[in-house]
């Protein structure tokens, strides 16, 4: 059961209207790595957590997913306030700057036509939020790594937005979100490290019998491009991070399979006829 607390988790008040920046903020609301994505991702990961012994991870996921809903409300409120009182001529003024006109196109017209000066569940280009952005596999180690990536990308975007405005109110809210992304990255790294130690492995899934994989190539880096710069990385030599194998580098890999020859499709399929041999 969810309860809505009417007060925001943190303040979301700009100093002045800015419909162009409201359009930019849509990215961290309804974009691929926006707050709607992480809220749904963490909640579904938590709801789908089946193992009773992992209850602390379920609780962590639901705690964080619920907080992300609070961030959705904060950003939606900020977008509405950036649009509040903004005259339509703001779009025309923004368009006078050729860079703004070319890159941003001024104000998002849907903020007037569709949402009536409110936020929408879309990204900064107006593309609707998509549930395919979310990952909830049932494997906590795999999911937490996806969560770490989501928080990394989300914090990066929030920092970029912080650099794009001089509005102290907007910067203040973004500074809060950036700090929370800092915490969330650290918590997922801590949880990943704990799961790796608990499960006795780093490669997902840790439960797959190693004798069933072709171990001769399990730690081999194949060079499939001109040059050999990739051989200089830590991933090309020494003990692998899972400490179960040693990296090796193959500069000129050879095909291990044969050229495929497929039989013709049956007549009812109506594929291209067999070429003439005359």
Find out whether 59 is annotated in a ligand binding site.
Answer: yes
Question: For residue 48, is it left (φ>0), alpha (ψ between -120 and 50) or beta?
Answer: alpha
19-199 belongs to which CATH class? Answer: mainly alpha
Is the pTM of the predicted complex or chain greater than 0.85? yes
Find out whether 30 is annotated in a ligand binding site.
Answer: no
Find out whether 225 is annotated in a ligand binding site.
Answer: yes
CATH 1.20.1260.10 intervals, the chain: 19-199
Find out whether 35 is annotated in a ligand binding site.
Answer: yes
Find out whether 151 is annotated in a ligand binding site.
Answer: yes
Q: Are 23 and 108 in contact (CB under 8 A)?
A: yes
Q: What is the pLDDT along the chain (278 residues), one digit of tens a residue?
A: 889 999 999 999 999 999 999 999 999 999 999 999 999 999 999 999 987 778 999 999 999 999 999 999 999 999 999 998 765 555 566 556 655 454 445 788 888 889 989 999 999 999 999 999 999 999 999 999 999 999 999 999 999 999 999 999 999 999 999 999 999 999 999 999 999 999 888 999 999 999 999 999 999 999 999 999 999 999 999 999 999 999 999 999 999 999 999 898 899 998 887 666 66
Find out whether 172 is annotated in a ligand binding site.
Answer: no
Find out whether 11 is annotated in a ligand binding site.
Answer: no
pLDDT of residue 54: 82
Reduce the secondary structure of the chain to three states and give it as a string: CCCCCCCCCCCCCCCCCCHHHHHHHHHHHHCCCCHHHHHHHHHHHHHCCCCHHHHHHHHHHHHHHHHHHHHHHHHHHHHHHHHCCCCCHHHHHHHCCHHHHHHCCCCCCHHHHCCCCCCCCECCCCCECCHHHCCCCCCHHHHHHHHHHHHHHHHHHHHHHHHCCCCHHHHHHHHHHHHHHHHHHHHHHHHHHHHHHHHCCCCCCCCCCHHHCCHHHCCEEECCCCCCHHHHCHHHCCECCCCCCECEEECCCCCCCCCCCCCCCCHHHCCCCCCCCC
């Amino acid at each position: 059961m969810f309860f809505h607390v009417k007060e925001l988790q943190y303040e979301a008040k700009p100093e002045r209207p800015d419909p162009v920046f409201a359009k930019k903020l849509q990215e961290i609301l309804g974009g691929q790595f926006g707050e709607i994505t992480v809220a749904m991702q963490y909640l579904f990961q938590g709801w789908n957590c089946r193992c009773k012994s992992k209850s602390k991870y379920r609780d962590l996921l639901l705690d964080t997913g619920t907080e992300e809903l609070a961030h959705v409300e904060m950003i939606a409120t900020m977008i509405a306030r950036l649009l509040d009182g903004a005259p339509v001529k703001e779009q025309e003024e923004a368009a006078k700057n050729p860079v703004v006109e070319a890159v941003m196109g001024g104000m998002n017209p849907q903020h007037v036509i569709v949402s009536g000066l409110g936020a929408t569940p879309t990204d900064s280009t107006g593309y609707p939020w998509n549930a395919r952005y979310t990952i909830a596999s049932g494997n906590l180690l795999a999911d937490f790594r996806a969560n770490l990536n989501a928080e990394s990308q989300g914090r990066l975007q929030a920092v970029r937005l912080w650099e794009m405005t001089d509005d102290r109110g907007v910067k203040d809210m973004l500074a809060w979100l950036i700090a929370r992304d800092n915490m969330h990255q650290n918590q997922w790294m801590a949880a990943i490290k704990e799961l790796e130690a608990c499960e006795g492995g780093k490669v997902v899934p840790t439960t797959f019998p190693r004798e069933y994989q072709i171990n001769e190539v399990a730690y081999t880096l194949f060079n499939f491009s001109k040059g050999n710069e990739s051989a200089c990385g830590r991933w090309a030599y020494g003990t692998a991070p899972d400490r179960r194998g040693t990296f090796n580098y193959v500069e000129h890999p050879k095909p291990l399979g044969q050229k495929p020859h497929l039989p013709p499709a049956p007549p009812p399929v109506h594929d291209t006829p067999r070429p003439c041999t005359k």
